[in-house]
Structure 1
């Protein structure tokens, strides 16, 4: 990706405004346009990893909207949007995070849009229409839910932590993830599995979860939500010394992040 000259680099707040409008429009499309006979358009990593016609339509809406305002930017989207761009800005898009929830009529799904400048996420939006909530953040600007400041919870004792997680779609990975949860569950308050990584990360930032971890996330799953969690006071990362990635993503407040990371490292949560 080309590097933007510092003098011409866009302000994160300006990118956030574009992301907010794109996410709002996509959220309305998904909420109001969901057909009663919604079907599966394709499968991705496995027969149970689905993509619906609405994922595709929402991504097209988002990329068309953003390209109309910033035609030189790049894209990385879950449903195939890919463009190099020449501005130094790349949009990382999950048009429908929580597709299986959406397919079944469950409310925990979201539109996730993040903007990177020279490879660093500087603005992000998680739009959760069925919650009636918009989670937004830009680098150094704090985190907000529907305009109100968001903050993660202070670190509880490890045994009192409410921890969110998720599972992959490949059978071998699911078996390994289940083994990790079986070891972790007796040592924490409880485990939650919501089905949308973007919302789980936002919930850490809102104090609705004490922590979250998952193996196997893609950039579009975590980019906006992880920024929101960080701006709300949480730490994010992967294995010790590594950033959050597909290998492992962890979000938790300081004081809980470190022991959770150590525990997950010992349990081998970063491999199948």
Structure 2
């Protein structure tokens, strides 16, 4: 398989991703009920990973590669392998780990299939609510099988914006100062704690825009495809802390929101 997979191929990849995401989500819920402890930290003492993250990623990798043994794999918790088929799976086993750790019901399993350099299928499954966001490249975006679409564009001062903050203290402080300026220009700002779900919420019309610095490929792959296929533009640049900045908004209203992001100082 190459980076120019057919629609049939994309549907097959999506079906596999959804099936595996549902199994992983059920396992995450089961293990959450049994109790959870921090297994390690990543970029800072507040950037945690749990044993459940590891077990979810191991399950997802095993299931995907059992069915498609030549595919590549990139996982947040370090599992990786090269592809001989042109398809690579990009996985966040629990997006929103801090929410998961504290019992806040806003975290997801995110699985995307990348053909070459292009994400062609993606699933973001809300573990607690059970909502399943899906998309294929050129095939549209869906929530539990029903098509979704971005919100109609409204003036900037009526837009609800989702954001997030870095786990690195100095970057977080700079972001907070910029977001304080943003607050004076929009309806309000939310910080929900799962980038994958945040992007899907833009696609589902639950918010008007999203901006966050520090995302990795596994945070962005599936949710970004859902947002794009629902009518959003998803842009990547450099944030105030020097890391990847992601901005997502309905395509028709993207330019003025992106200009606002720059004006308040969220860009580098």
- What's the counterpart of residue 257 of structure 1? 254
Contact 1:239 1:261 in 2 (8 A): no
Question: Alignment partner for residue 14 of structure 1, among 12, 15, 28?
Answer: 12
Does structure 1 residue 58 correspond to structure 2 residue 56?
yes
- What's the counterpart of residue 194 of structure 1? 192
Range with greater deviation from structure 2 (99-108 or 261-270): 261-270
Question: Alignment partner for residue 85 of structure 2, among 79, 84, 87?
Answer: 87
User: Aligned equivalents of 2:30 and 2:94: distance in 1?
Assistant: 14
Query: CA offset at residue 129 of structure 1?
Result: 2.2
- What's the counterpart of residue 153 of structure 1? 151
With over 3 angstroms needed to count, the CA separation of the structure-2 counterparts of 1:189 and 1:6, relative to structure 1, is closer
- What's the counterpart of residue 245 of structure 2? 248
Question: How does 1:211-250 map onto structure 2 within 5 Å?
Answer: 211-239=209-237, 247-250=244-247
Query: CA offset at residue 246 of structure 1?
Result: 5.1
SS in 1 for 2:84: coil
Contact 2:209 2:248 in 1 (8 A): yes
User: Aligned equivalents of 2:243 and 2:111: distance in 1?
Assistant: 18
User: Aligned equivalents of 1:249 and 1:267: distance in 2?
Assistant: 15
User: Aligned equivalents of 1:34 and 1:212: distance in 2?
Assistant: 28
- What's the counterpart of residue 75 of structure 2? 77
User: Aligned equivalents of 1:120 and 1:145: distance in 2?
Assistant: 22
SS in 1 for 2:184: helix
SS in 1 for 2:122: strand
**5+ long unaligned stretches in structure 2:** none
Contact 1:239 1:265 in 2 (8 A): no
Contact 2:4 2:115 in 1 (8 A): no
SS in 2 for 1:238: strand
Query: CA offset at residue 126 of structure 1?
Result: 0.1
- What's the counterpart of residue 2 of structure 2? 4
Superposition CA RMSD, Å: 1.9
**5+ long unaligned stretches in structure 1:** none
Deviations 1:108-127, CA, capped at 9 Å, x for gaps: 00000000001100000000
Q: Which runs of 4+ in 1 moved over 6 A?
A: 7-10
- What's the counterpart of residue 183 of structure 2? 185
Range with greater deviation from structure 2 (249-258 or 193-202): 249-258
Contact 2:195 2:219 in 1 (8 A): yes
Question: Alignment partner for residue 106 of structure 1, among 104, 107, 128?
Answer: 104
SS in 2 for 1:214: strand
- What's the counterpart of residue 201 of structure 2? 203
Deviations 1:212-252, CA, capped at 9 Å, x for gaps: 01011000001100100111111111349xxxx95210111
User: Aligned equivalents of 1:20 and 1:146: distance in 2?
Assistant: 11
Task: Report how many residues are paired.
Answer: 265
- What's the counterpart of residue 29 of structure 1? 27
- What's the counterpart of residue 126 of structure 2? 128
